[in-house]
């Protein structure tokens, strides 16, 4: 495979919007559609890893401290005099692999923060650029091992240095949202931040190209920092006494305008509601009754069977979930030019 697989990062600086569950189910769905998938957990909370792996297996790789077994152990040599370590992938299925997360990853934040200003000097640029592009390098190493068709990345809900380095390694951004004030406020902050990071990374790439001609830097490729937002996924509200439908609709119908203004940096043309907004990739139901079953069986909810307890009305819900996630996967594939 000559072309590099697209890197999709799911990002919202507001937590609790169903981000990790969304990535987990999409990773499984793309694999079911016969695509080679690399899932990468770069959230120090490691919830995506917990969804894919048994707790005993996670404990083992965290305790072993073996180079390359987690995203942190791939980067740890950079904190000394070493270089990025080759990732040891966890095989979930023959078409789905994971680079596990690690609670220790947060300790790498300081290195990323300190090297950001150093990457705009006129000498000694190799180490800063190597560190800042480290997440991208690890992803590409992992992707080459399995000839991945797509890379799906989970990150934490913040605007810190780790996420900045992941986003500069990202081709496409998908924004999971809830229908509430906090999601909308987060959206207003997220859009300008993405544009700022993209602009600053482009300056660093230009600076690197200019300085590399007169310096003896080893050749290595850097991410382009595309960061193209391709849409949002809205978490459908559940029926709750403290969340009347009117309150839900109040917030959900503000999303299209805020998304265009804050994320796309456009003036809204026409009046969209979330239900007919072309930027809305999907509205995902809660599937409350299926989620505990899926977690217990360590399966996506659309693969639950009667043996797992999915009987009666659950059978229809499982099929609905399959249809929803397949439709979303196909829409994403169409947006990024991935042939299914």
Kindly state the tokens that stand for 289.
Answer: 């009754």
pLDDT tens column, 2-61: 589 999 999 998 888 889 999 999 999 999 999 999 999 999 999 999 999 999 999 999
Average pLDDT, the chain: 91
Confidence tier at 100 by pLDDT (50, 70, 90) = very high
> Residue 80: what pLDDT?
80
Contacts for 206 with CB less than 8 Å, ≥ 6 apart: none
What backbone phi and psi angles, to 5 degrees, belong to 156? -75, 165
> Residue 245: what pLDDT?
62
Kindly state the tokens that stand for 254.
Answer: 């503000």
Entry field: residues in the chain = 340
Q: Of 3, 7, 1, 12, which Cα lies nearest the Cα of 262?
A: 12
Q: Of 237, 283, 280, which Cα lies nearest the Cα of 256?
A: 280
Q: Count Cα neighbours of 329 within 13 Å in the Cβ-side half-sphere.
A: 25
More confident residue, 61 or 66: 61
pLDDT score of 113 more than 50:
yes
pLDDT score of 240 more than 60:
no
> Residue 271: what pLDDT?
66
Place of tokens 């951004």: 173
> Residue 250: what pLDDT?
81
Least trusted range by pLDDT, from 195-199, 204-208, 240-244: 240-244
Give the residue-averaged pLDDT of 207-212.
Answer: 86
Give the residue-averaged pLDDT of 100-106.
Answer: 97
Least trusted range by pLDDT, from 75-89, 96-110, 112-126, 228-242: 228-242
Q: Which domains does the chain have, with CATH numbers?
A: 7-284 (3.40.50.300), 289-335 (no CATH)
List, in sequence order, the alpha helices (H) in the chain. Answer: 19-32, 47-52, 55-64, 71-75, 109-118, 126-132, 134-146, 161-167, 181-212, 245-252, 255-258, 291-297, 313-336
Least trusted range by pLDDT, from 50-54, 178-182, 262-266: 178-182
pLDDT score of 99 more than 70:
yes
Neighbours of 199 (CB within 10 A): 10
Rounded CA-CA distance 183/258 in Å is: 10
In the chain, % of residues over pLDDT 70: 94
pLDDT score of 218 more than 80:
no
Place of tokens 């180079």: 67
More confident residue, 96 or 213: 96
pLDDT score of 1 more than 60:
no
């Amino acid at each position: 495979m000559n072309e590099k697989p697209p890197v999709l990062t799911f990002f919202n600086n507001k937590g609790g919007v169903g981000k990790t569950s969304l990535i987990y189910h999409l990773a499984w769905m793309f694999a079911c559609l016969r695509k080679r998938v690399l899932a990468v957990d770069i959230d120090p909370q490691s919830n995506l890893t917990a969804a894919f792996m048994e707790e005993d297996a996670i404990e083992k790789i965290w305790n072993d401290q073996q180079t390359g077994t987690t995203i942190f152990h791939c980067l740890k040599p950079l904190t000394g005099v070493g270089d990025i370590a080759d990732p040891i992938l966890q095989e979930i299925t023959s078409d789905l692999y994971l680079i596990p997360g690690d609670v220790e990853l947060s300790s790498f934040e300081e290195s990323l923060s300190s090297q950001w200003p150093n990457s705009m000097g006129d000498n000694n640029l190799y180490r800063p650029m190597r560190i800042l592009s480290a997440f991208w390098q690890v992803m590409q190493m992992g992707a080459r091992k399995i000839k991945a068709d797509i890379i799906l990345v989970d990150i934490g809900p913040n605007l810190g240095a780790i996420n900045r380095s992941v986003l500069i390694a990202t081709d496409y951004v998908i924004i999971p949202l809830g229908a509430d004030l906090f999601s909308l406020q987060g959206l207003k902050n997220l859009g300008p931040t993405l544009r700022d990071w993209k602009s600053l990374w482009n300056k660093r790439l230009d600076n690197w190209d200019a300085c590399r001609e007169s310096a003896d830097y080893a050749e290595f490729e850097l991410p382009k920092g595309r960061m193209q937002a391709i849409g949002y996924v809205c978490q459908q509200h559940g029926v709750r006494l403290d969340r009347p439908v009117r309150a839900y609709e109040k917030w959900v119908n503000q999303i299209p305008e805020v998304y265009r203004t804050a994320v796309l940096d456009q003036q809204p043309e026409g009046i969209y509601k979330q239900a007919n907004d072309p930027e809305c990739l999907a509205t995902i139901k809660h599937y409350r009754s299926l989620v505990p079953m899926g977690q217990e069986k360590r399966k996506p909810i659309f693969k639950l069977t009667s043996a797992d307890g999915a009987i009666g009305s659950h059978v229809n819900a499982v099929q609905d979930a399959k249809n929803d996630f397949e439709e979303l996967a196909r829409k994403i594939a169409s947006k990024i030019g991935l042939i299914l």
